[in-house]
Amino acid sequence: MSETPGDTTRAGASQAPHHLAEVRAAIAKACRAFDRRPQDVTLIAVSKTFPADAVRPVLEAGQRVFGENRVQEAQAKWPELRAAFPDARVHLIGPLQSNKVREAVELFDAIHTVDRPKIAAAIAAEQARTGRALELFVQVNTGAEPQKAGVLPEAADAFIAECRDVHGLTLSGLMCIPPADAVPDPHFALLAEIAARNGLKGLSMGMSGDFPAAIRQGATHIRVGSAIFGHRPPLT
């Protein structure tokens, strides 16, 4: 198909506005500037809090990888969207409770928030039971923020080894969310360094405000919400 990405004016397309084309252009620009290949940077369109009617036009514009941060919200939203777009992929980018692992492994294609032994063990058991194999990212709390999920940088090597050797997980890479008020580049560089010394290729880093910097530091997966879907009402 030769439809124009982001063109929501075609007859038959839904009319909710979005900025997929602008974000794709900005990704292409960053790739040119930092000598990265665009096909090595996967855009995850973060559709959390937006209803299916807002997600559909982005699917119609050709986007296929999406991010959600709550199991329950994804369960409510994605079955009908997947029925219409069977090749859509949905990544869990929010925290995972162990009592939700069964539903998460059934529903998602990737989990970016593996950060403790109990969750690693539960994912391993559920993958074995179902025969499913998700893309898995270990979340690293690069800023060592007390309120933030993720394994501490100094504990990352041991946790990665435990995921592999004790739980038998195949990991795709690492994920981080730099502190909101920090210059993100050193956090992205730290994540890349931990990944490289552990033989991991995937780097899930960069959001609406900082994805060009993340691409510069080697991001393979950028998680972009508001720059595509617009302002998100604050969660209460």
Ligand X SMILES: *Cc1c(COP(=O)(O)O)cnc(C)c1O
Closest CB to ligand X among 27 and 207? Answer: 207
Q: Binders of ligand X among 216-235, rule CB under 6 A?
A: 223-227
Q: Which is nearer to ligand X, 137 or 159 (CB)?
A: 137
Unique residue bearing structure tokens 């124009």: 4
Strand pairing of 221-224 and 65-68? unpaired
Q: How distant, in Å, are the alpha carbons of 5, 9, 25, 175, 231 from that of 150?
A: 34, 41, 31, 9, 26
State the DSSP H helix or E strand holding residue 58, giving kind and residue range, or none if neither: helix 52-60
Tell which one of 207, 213, 214, 215 touches ligand X (CB under 6 A). Answer: 207
| CA distances to 39, 72, 140, 161, 221 from 152, in Å | 30, 28, 6, 14, 21
Min CB(208)–ligand X separation in Å: 3
Looking at 31, 45, 46, 120, which residue binds ligand X (CB under 6 A)?
46
- Residue with Cβ nearer ligand X (111 or 177): 177
User: In the window 150-189, what residues touch ligand X (CB under 6 A)?
Assistant: 177
Q: Does 208 bind ligand X (CB under 6 A)?
A: yes
C-beta of 127 vs 139, nearer to ligand X: 139
Closest approach, Cβ 175 to ligand X, in A, equals 8
Nearer to ligand X, 125 or 149 (CB): 149
Residues 97 and 92: their CA atoms lie apart, in Å, by 12
Helix, strand, coil percentages (3-state) for the chain, rounded to 5, are 40, 15, 45
| Residue 191 near residue 142 (C-beta atoms within 8 A) | yes
What is the binding site for ligand X (CB under 6 A)?
Answer: 46, 48, 69, 93-94, 177, 207-209, 223-227
